[in-house]
Structure 1
Amino acid sequence: INIYNHLAVFLRWAMENSFLSDNFLKAYGKELEKYTSQDFVDLREFVKFRLKGDLRKSFFNDIGKEFIRYYYDYDFDDGEKAFFPRNIDEYAKRIFGEERYYSPELKREAYLYLTFDEKYYQDMKAVIDDVYNTWLKELENYKN
């Protein structure tokens, strides 16, 4: 189930920021209520079983799609700018330490071994929030 950790984090962040499309909410809104009514919102099973492990751009509204294009799209990864999969890996390296991160035990897939809990979500939420705010500033500078 841990292969869905990062997708569940991003989906929850998008939900909390109202970046889901109307069509997505029509299709899944009632079902999502049972997850959001819990003390800890764990969307991994929802992502795995209902979304078949795929977060499609069509699930997001226009702002969400543009932010995804900026932050999550492999086609735009230049190795320098913020990139969500890389931020997840950087977080795993911070949690496990460099030696363990590169150990055979974690097989260079340390993000799969992160404990999925509220701390993980809050830590990654802070990262996503920072990237989102930077993106908004870049958009504002571009407009000016």
Structure 2
Amino acid sequence: MSGVVVVGVDGSPSARKAAEVALGLAKSLGGSLHIVTAFDVDRSETFGVGSDEVKVWNSEAAETVAKSLGETRPGVEISYFAARGKPADALIKEAMRLDARLIVVGNRRMRGIGRLLGSVANSVAHNAPCDVYIANTYDD
């Protein structure tokens, strides 16, 4: 069975863990991995010394994770996309656009007060056009 596995990242260790799980699932399914990052406003930070400056945009998180995952497990096609908007909405839209087989999200903010305030995983699980896999991204 093949298909696209979509995962969202934001640069956090929790998101990295979810992306690693998604990569394993994509490989097992004989599919590809599509990494999505969402942002409300495209912000940037400038780093540098003297006249050497590098601008880092928050929309580059998906590209960074995609490249590093591609190096660790070759053989899986990996693509990435940066979308303006809320994370859950971006994941759902990309899954619909790609006719994805699966969306992988981490379980961050699904405990304690986060459950009351809502989480990306909860929103995706209730509105996804495909199956949803909630990866355990807690350290404990």
- Normalising by structure 2, we get a TM-score of 0.27
- Higher strand proportion (structure 1 or 2): 2
- Normalising by structure 1, we get a TM-score of 0.26
- Higher helix proportion (structure 1 or 2): 1
